[in-house]
Structure 1
């Protein structure tokens, strides 16, 4: 038990270090190596401790105490853009017409997971605790890119704690489970602020792209939700799963910093009477707040075993991304009036993902797995931007499970191809949007070690 507590503390600490945006929107569906190898089609099988994420009812069928510790390495989607943006060209008047090519910064993130379950011997009750990161986001463009006024760096680093209880009705071969989701998140955003007018407090011609300065935000939030699951296994060769996870509202509060780098920027923070010496700078600070509602999810799944060695599963997952309708930041300081309460429409939509996976047991020590996952993007053309240049994607995966005694090791690889996304949303009056095409691919490696006591 002491080792379990120590391991949980270590991995929990690591979760705060780095995570990456990946699944539909910024959802990461890859929460264990076994499930990832089967295209995340796992809500009906749910037969190891990672069931806590995929379908918590599955822990009711596990024996004794089981602990699974793992990590998923994500090569951040390698995004390339070709086209024009409101800043492509020479500011302030020669922008919006010069075609350019930009590449997002390359990075590798590691998202660890911990799952622990305990099933009582004399009662059909099981308990579990999961620690993971379900909705991380990370994207970085070069500080001088043509997207610098929309985003230079953005990150949402969440940690989710999931205490769960499950019960089994043996006569019906049915299990049900319910749990809490407690999500703590750190949120950061860095960009260069621009204005289409020389004085953002008194808009008037001439119109162009006027640099104001560097704007940064840092905040934290804690939100609460719930989840439940049902697993029914009427026969040894059939199982069905239903899992639901509620939405979670994150009320983010923190600090904002603005560094004025031009006379226009000085005016934006009320220093209109100042004639800045060339290369001078002025800094302003403010408390800031916003809110983000993480979507609810519903999984419907069926698994079949045509033979003793082969298991096949199909899952359909609905994600309620319509909860993300806008992004609006409130600044308390009057110096931030030029930036305050400017809603950025998102208008995301609810989407479905479809997952197919299979496992073939070569012998008692070795399993082979394959999977495919089609995921729809929730982002409409009208609000697609470099903060999250999302697209429909096709995911292909494979992996293996190695078993020896009371231990097992699961390994998986996944390649994700984002369908090329072409948009025509460039708006010179607001200096947002772009006319061009985004191309992305991502690569994942995962490993989990599970011990049964």
Structure 2
């Protein structure tokens, strides 16, 4: 393979890795207004229909039929600084993640049915400036995940409930990158990738009201294998390479798969009085399922490096520690706050500009309003990431991240 082809192959490898890394990177999203205000420490609280996402056993204790709808807006910020002091910042963007839940108590053997629609691994991305260094590694990345989760919950005892659900997961990803063709004495090219796919899994939950003060909650969500089909495009190919591609651009279908992780959660809620709730929770996320990827190109041009490839990721399992507090001012108003620490699954060697992940600190605040059968929950989350040094094959330097999120949920009980 010629040096020119090797250069193009390297750019393509970067693009593939940026696309499919970012497809599984967005973690820690909020699934409901009340839980978000409490640092998402909700597996042992689980007293509104968003329990379907946190711990589906919770809906067995909810009376009648309830609808809970809302969404969150996320504004991420990332700054990169190289070892010699050069820096860039991402463009300002806002991403919207909706959620919706329905639960209905049946007049039959203490059974409750539910349906949840939410984003389990987030909706978001980054866009870097058109000028500078980073757009040659990652220009734009966008991730969206969506889950439909029907569940059934049962109370075999007055203080104990169990639940089972089916998970349908859909994932979408889009990424673009500039291709430096100065070695060919040509203008920059552009490469882009778009991919989506789906898969199936399952989840279970348990909720035990130990006594009037303590509640224990446990939940498990299986891993999901998602087959992704995508399209890769190269535009403005350098004249020196056009004979290999039979023109200035090429498009080909491509395929890979991602094993989304299994998740195990254990929490406890303490109600020292009828006004106070204090929740503590731990969560394990099996990101070690994401070790390497085999990407298959349907129309390869092997002589130009436009071919099948293997991308090494070597992610590791991660932990999330959460705590949340709610104070009921009266029968109408409630104040909430919480904190969550999320360890990163991404090693420094495979850190990239599309996903410069790091250990994360979430500071959460919320307020709730209830009147008759109507509920409104508002929340704000400030996420601060620890500074992270990249030492791999991409763009070495230090990344700083933070994000602001606001959201709401409205509920009706029929």
How does the TM-score come out when normalised to structure 1?
Answer: 0.82
2:84 is the counterpart of 1:73? no
1:143 and 1:331, CA in 2 relative to 1: closer, same or farther beyond 3 A? Answer: farther
1:155-200 C-alpha deviation (Å, 9 max, x unpaired) = 22222100110111225x11100101111222222112458986xx
Of 276, 287, 298, 1:310 maps to: 276
2:49 is the counterpart of 1:52? no
Partners of 1:372 and 1:396 within 8 A in 2: yes
Q: Secondary structure at the match of 1:373?
A: strand
Of 139, 151, 171, 1:164 maps to: 151
Aligned to 1:406: 373
Partners of 2:153 and 2:163 within 8 A in 1: yes
Partners of 1:37 and 1:370 within 8 A in 2: yes
2:104 is the counterpart of 1:118? yes
- Structure 2 stretches of 5 or more lacking a match? 1-20
- Structure 1 stretches of 5 or more lacking a match? 1-20, 85-97, 199-208, 272-280, 426-431
Q: CA deviation at 1:264?
A: 4.4
Query: Which of structures 1 and 2 has the bigger CA Rg?
Result: 1
Aligned to 2:15: none
Partners of 1:116 and 1:129 within 8 A in 2: yes
In structure 2, distance between residues paired with 1:29 and 1:297: 14
1:296 and 1:247, CA in 2 relative to 1: closer, same or farther beyond 3 A? Answer: same
Aligned to 1:358: 325
Question: How is 1:79-98 mapped onto 2 (pairs within 5 angstroms)?
Answer: 79-83=78-82
| Aligned CA-pair RMSD | 2.3
Aligned to 1:9: none
Q: Secondary structure at the match of 1:239?
A: strand
Q: Secondary structure at the match of 1:322?
A: helix
Aligned to 1:449: 410
Aligned to 2:313: 346
Aligned to 1:109: 95
Q: CA deviation at 1:134?
A: 1.3
Q: CA deviation at 1:105?
A: 1.7
1:373-425 C-alpha deviation (Å, 9 max, x unpaired) = 11101111111111100110111111111110011110111111101112333
Q: Secondary structure at the match of 1:387?
A: coil
1:305 and 1:61, CA in 2 relative to 1: closer, same or farther beyond 3 A? Answer: same
In structure 1, distance between residues paired with 2:117 and 2:67: 12
In structure 2, distance between residues paired with 1:210 and 1:194: 8
In structure 2, distance between residues paired with 1:105 and 1:327: 29
In structure 2, distance between residues paired with 1:30 and 1:346: 26
In structure 1, distance between residues paired with 2:237 and 2:22: 34
For these two proteins, the number of residue pairs brought into alignment is 392
Partners of 2:117 and 2:149 within 8 A in 1: yes
Aligned to 2:297: 331
Aligned to 1:10: none
In structure 2, distance between residues paired with 1:392 and 1:266: 44
Of 128, 133, 138, 2:125 maps to: 138
How does the TM-score come out when normalised to structure 2?
Answer: 0.89
Larger deviation, residues 319-328 vs 388-397: 319-328
Aligned to 2:86: 100
In structure 2, distance between residues paired with 1:252 and 1:24: 12
1:193 and 1:327, CA in 2 relative to 1: closer, same or farther beyond 3 A? Answer: farther
Partners of 2:22 and 2:355 within 8 A in 1: no
In structure 1, distance between residues paired with 2:129 and 2:276: 48
Aligned to 1:322: 288
Aligned to 1:229: 205
Q: CA deviation at 1:344?
A: 2.4
